[in-house]
Structures are given as C-alpha cells and as structure tokens.
Amino acid sequence: MTRRRWTMFALVLLVPALAVGAQRFSRTAPGEHPNPNAEYDGRFTFIRVKFTPLNTGWDLKWDHDYPVAETHLLKIMEEVSTVRSHLPETSIYGFSDAELFKYPVAYVSEPGFWTMNEAELAGIRAYVNKGGFIIFDDFSSRHWINFEDKWRRAFPNLALVKLDITHPIFDAFYRIKTLDMTHPYFGLTSEFWGAYEDNDPSKRLVMIANYNNDIGDYMEWSDSNLLPVPLTNEAYKLAVNYVVYALTH
C-alpha cells in the first residue's frame, strides 16, 4: 500500500469519527437536558430508558442518538404503517418510574454500561412480567458481559436465546430476508438475542437485543450519507418490526 493510499484510508476512517464526535461533543450529553416528555394520550410513544451508566464519567450512554434516532423512526413509521405515533415528542423514563408502565415498549441504548438500583430492578421485573417489551441496542463485543450480568440479575430464570430469521418478529411488518448485518462502525457481525416469556418459545419475546449492532445510529444518521443506505434500511425495518411485534404480541 502506498503512502497516498494509507492517507486516503485514514481519512475514510477519520471523517465519520470526527462527524460523530462533533455531533456528540457539540451537545454534551443530550440526556442532561432532554426535551419535555410527551403527555400520555394512548398513541405509540417512543420511550428511551435512562439509567446510571457504569463508570463513564460525563457520557450518559443511554442517551446516545437521542432524540434524532427516535424522531426519525416515528416519522418513518407514520409513513409506512398505521401505527399512530406521538410525534414529535418522545419520552425518557427509568425502570422505576411509574409513568413508564403506560408504555409497553421501551428502548435501552448502550446496555454495556447499564446499571440498576433496587427500585429499577423491581421496576424492570414488573414491567416485563406485566407485558412490557424491551429493545436493547447499541452494544458490542465485551459489552455483552455487563448486559448479560444485569439481565440475569433481573431475570435469573429467563434464558437468553439467539434468534434466527424464522422468528415472527422478523415478519411482523416487513418480511426481513436476512439477518446478515454488521455494526455501523466496527464491522462486527450482528446477532439478535431474545428471551421468551416463561422460557417458552411458543410465547412472546419479552425483549430483543441487537448485539454487535446499533440500529439507533443507523436511524440517527439516515438523513446523511454517513452510513450505507441498505443497512440503514434494514435498521428501520428491524425497528418497525420490533414495534409492531411488541404491540401485537
């Protein structure tokens, strides 16, 4: 490889990194100053779950891609489906917030840094056992360790199961043809994990985890050319399917 080619390669890597960094650092943890929560009115509202992140300093983690990712998803969903969405407001609640229980679908970003106090632990158990559905996203590699640890702490008897394309969640709205997907930045092969109610595969999934994936990022940057369009499309398909599945199963 010539020096010029090395320079080009470095630029290709650097530009997105700078763009991401600029976006994040310019607003310094959007979760610190979130938009007002949407008032409950029965329509589908995107719920992002907040938590105290694990040893990350100023970065809240749970607020990654907020609020652009969810706003984009709601707009897309409004266009392609009959889901009545609460637009443009979204909401942020912790697992210990009573108001969370008015929304049966919740999104957790960066579960690799997820922690729970006792109230949140009781909250997530009640939420799932009553019928709530959780989407875990934006974690990869060693983040799994923390995610699995926290999940097992909350649900020691609910096994994590790797899902394949035959699961109905991948056919709830779009018929997703393949799960061959990669992480937007690290090139890791995505995996989709779930947990069944009562560990019974004939029952509903109570959560889905996009491991080695970050559909939030795909959705956030979908109005730019930063990430590949085909993968961004797949991310939207997955997100819409998750919501439709969660509202019907």
Partner 1 sequence: MNGAPVAPSEVPHPPVDALAEFLFKYRPAAFARGALGADPVVPVLLVVALASAVAGLGLWALARQASHEAPRIRGTLGGLRVAAIALLAWCLCRPVLVVAESVAQRNVVAVLVDDSRSMRIADVGGQTRAQAALRLAGGADSALLRALGDRYQVRVYRTSAPGRVTEPAALPFDGARTRLLGAVTRVEDELAGAPLAGVVVLTDGADNGARDAGASGMTEQLSTLRARGVPVYPVGLGSARFAKDIEVAQLEVPRAALRNATVLVDVLVSHRGFGGATLPVIAEDGGRIVAQGTVTLAREGEAASVRLRVPVTEAGARVLRVRVPPQPGELVTENNERRVLITVRDRKEKVLFVDGEPRPEIKFARRAVSGDQQLQLVTLLRSAKDKYLRLGVDDSLELVNGFPTTRAQLFAYRAIVLGSIEANFFTADQLRMLADFVSERGGGLLALGGRASFGEGGWAGTPLADVLPVELGVMARGDSLHAVEIKAGLTPAGLRHPALQVMPTDSTVAERWRTLPPLTTVNALPRAKSGATVLLEGTLGDRTVRPLLAMQRYGKGRVLALGAQDDWLWQMHAEMAVEDSTHERLWRQMLRWLVSEVPDRAELAPIGEAARGEAVSLRALVRDSVFLGRNGASVSATVTAPGGKAQEVAFDWAVDRDGEYAASFVPDSDGVHEVRVRAVSGRDTTLAASAYVLVADPTDEYFGAERRDALLAQLANETGGHGYDADHATDVARDLVYSPSGATQVRRLDLWDMPVVFVVLTMLLGGEWWLRRRRGLA
- Binding residues for partner 1, rule: CB under 8 A, are 40-44, 80-84, 98-102, 104, 125-126, 129-132, 172-173, 203-204, 243-244, 246-249
Closest CA to 37 of 115, 99, 125, 107: 99
CB of 173 to partner 1, least distance (A): 6
Rounded to an integer, what is the distance from CA 146 to the centroid of its chain? 16
Count CB neighbours of 187 within 10 A. Answer: 8
Q: Which is nearer to partner 1, 90 or 140 (CB)?
A: 90
Q: Which is nearer to partner 1, 125 or 177 (CB)?
A: 125
CB of 3 to partner 1, least distance (A): 53
CB of 147 to partner 1, least distance (A): 23
Question: 88 with 77: CB under 8 angstroms?
Answer: no
Look up tokens 């040893």; give the residue: 55
CB of 41 to partner 1, least distance (A): 4
| CA separation for the pair 185, 217 (Å, rounded) | 10
Enter the tokens of residue 52.
């105290």
Q: Which is nearer to partner 1, 48 or 61 (CB)?
A: 48
Count CB neighbours of 57 within 10 A. Answer: 7
| CA separation for the pair 100, 123 (Å, rounded) | 9
CB of 157 to partner 1, least distance (A): 15
DSSP label of 104: S
Q: Which is nearer to partner 1, 95 or 147 (CB)?
A: 95
Q: Which is nearer to partner 1, 71 or 212 (CB)?
A: 71
| CA separation for the pair 13, 21 (Å, rounded) | 12
Q: Which is nearer to partner 1, 101 or 185 (CB)?
A: 101
CB of 125 to partner 1, least distance (A): 8
- Helix and strand element counts for the chain (H, E): 6, 7
